[in-house]
């Protein structure tokens, strides 16, 4: 029986996490009432559209939202899209995005109730996809966090600030006053590989579900930072990829799907995962992070196309190109996007790790204007279809490798000596 996706309270020492790797062969304060139906699309009254209506309605209710309308989807779709086909339904994408980026999620700040509510929705979607729960508490990998004090240098002056931080272990929570403790989780599910020779390796497909929460707005008006593009859009992609891969032939390599917390405050969830992976890191063949695919980017080629950070660093980009997958190099290397998302933590562990995105430098980045209504669900659906093909390639094809000097240097390493950059 699948684990029930409920968040258990925790404080103080936690029991050891179960060895999931043993299962794998060794080789806003207000509520939204938004219409989630896309313009110009009708309902056929049955089939997959009716199923989507029922599911999204349940998710809306679980998220504490009122329902003005729910999305309608078309008929069935192939498990892994072929070039020129569309498997992912824009209406379903928009419906799930509307739930994750709703005002009731209160901006999904790490350690706050809205983030835990979002985690529950994500777990239910992973369960529906047919994944296996892989956390230390069902679908949830608990992450020990608390409000901590830090000294920072601002304009030449030392200042003490308080922010949420990652603790060394759960026992450390015992030393923290209860009022400063917070609850945080990663959400993790697994689809086992079917090839006896490759199932012991795995691909991590992930996105961060946290955002920046509720903040004072000097201009007045909306104070909830919904984070529809950043990065509810990436989480939707991870979930849609999981559904597609589970519907299709078993992948040769095992796939781990994760929605991580704490990216916006220092990669907290990812750093905890690296310390406590559900399958050892030396068996991770590659990592594909998905970050901000909600709006098209003209530099990537417009709607339906995306770019890959660090494209030139490993053979992953070449693999995508040779298979006709519409994912191009990052055209803004000066922005250092390769270093600005969770993938960098895995890359520094020598794992080929890249982020898929279509962020176009819109002005709503970390602003209240990052709303669902400004996203393009048809674009998102096409990018997700491309990502499904990419994940199938990573699961069934050769492992990507770092190119010379492509691997990012760790602290203390030297580029010439250690073949890194």
**What pLDDT score was predicted for residue 64?**
47
Which tokens go with 361? Answer: 């430098």
Beta strand spans in 130-180 (E): 132-133, 140-142, 145-154, 157-166
**What pLDDT score was predicted for residue 128?**
96
DSSP character string of 39-63: TT----SSHHHHHHHHHHHHHHHHT
Select from 296, 314, 274, 275 the least CA-distant residue to 382.
Answer: 296
Residue ranges for the chain with pLDDT beneath 70: 1-86
Answer whether the bond into residue 17 is a cis peptide, omega within 30°.
no
**What pLDDT score was predicted for residue 40?**
37
103 touches 28 (CB < 8 A): yes
**pLDDT tens per residue, range 233-286:** 999 999 999 999 999 999 999 999 999 999 999 999 999 999 999 999 999 999
CA 202 to chain centroid = 17
**What pLDDT score was predicted for residue 1?**
36
Domains and CATH numbers, the chain: 107-143+184-418 (3.40.630.10), 144-182 (no CATH)
**What pLDDT score was predicted for residue 56?**
55
**What pLDDT score was predicted for residue 217?**
77
**What pLDDT score was predicted for residue 87?**
83
327 touches 320 (CB < 8 A): yes
Three-class secondary structure of residue 236 per DSSP: helix
Order of strands, edge to edge, in the sheet holding 157-166?
Answer: 157-166, 145-154, 181-182
From the CB of residue 30, how many other CB atoms can be counted at a distance below 10 Å? 11
28 to 7, 109, 313, 375, 400: CA distances (angstroms): 21, 12, 40, 18, 41
**What pLDDT score was predicted for residue 221?**
79
């Amino acid at each position: 029986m699948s684990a029930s996706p409920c968040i258990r309270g925790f404080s103080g020492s936690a029991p050891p996490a179960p060895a999931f790797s043993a299962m794998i062969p060794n080789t806003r304060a207000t509520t939204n009432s938004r219409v989630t139906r896309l313009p110009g699309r009708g309902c056929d009254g049955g089939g997959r559209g009716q199923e989507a209506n029922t599911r999204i309605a349940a998710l809306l209710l679980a998220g504490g939202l009122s329902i003005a309308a729910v999305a309608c989807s078309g008929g069935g779709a192939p498990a892994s899209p072929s070039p020129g086909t569309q498997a992912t339904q824009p209406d379903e994408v928009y419906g799930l995005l509307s739930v994750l980026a709703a005002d009731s999620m209160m901006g999904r700040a790490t350690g706050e109730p809205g983030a835990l509510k979002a985690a529950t929705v994500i777990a239910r979607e992973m369960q529906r996809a047919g994944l296996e729960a892989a956390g230390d508490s069902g679908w949830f990998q608990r992450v020990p966090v608390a409000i901590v004090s830090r000294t920072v240098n601002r304009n030449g002056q030392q200042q003490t600030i308080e922010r949420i931080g990652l603790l060394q272990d759960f026992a450390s929570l015992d030393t923290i006053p209860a009022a400063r403790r917070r609850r945080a989780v990663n959400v993790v599910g697994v689809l086992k590989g079917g090839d006896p020779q490759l199932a012991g390796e795995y691909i991590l497909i992930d996105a961060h579900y946290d955002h920046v929460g509720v903040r004072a707005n000097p201009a007045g008006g909306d104070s909830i930072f919904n984070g529809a593009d950043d990065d509810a859009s990436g989480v939707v992609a991870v979930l849609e990829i999981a559904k597609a891969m589970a519907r299709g032939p078993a992948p040769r390599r095992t796939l781990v799907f994760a929605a991580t917390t704490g990216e916006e405050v220092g990669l907290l969830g990812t750093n905890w995962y690296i310390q406590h992976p559900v399958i050892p890191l030396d068996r991770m063949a590659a990592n594909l992070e998905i970050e901000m695919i909600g709006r098209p980017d003209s530099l990537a080629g417009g709607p339906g196309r995306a770019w890959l950070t660090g494209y030139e660093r490993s053979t992953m980009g070449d693999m995508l190109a040779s298979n006709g997958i519409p994912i191009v190099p990052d055209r803004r290397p000066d922005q250092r996007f390769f270093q600005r998302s969770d993938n960098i933590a895995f890359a520094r562990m020598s794992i080929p790790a890249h982020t898929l995105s279509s962020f176009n430098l819109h002005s709503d980045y970390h602003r209240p204007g990052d709303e669902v209504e400004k996203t393009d669900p048809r674009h998102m659906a096409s990018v997700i279809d491309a990502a499904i093909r990419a994940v199938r390639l990573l699961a069934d094809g050769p492992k990507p490798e770092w190119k010379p000097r492509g691997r990012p240097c760790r602290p203390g390493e030297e580029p010439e000596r250690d073949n890194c950059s």
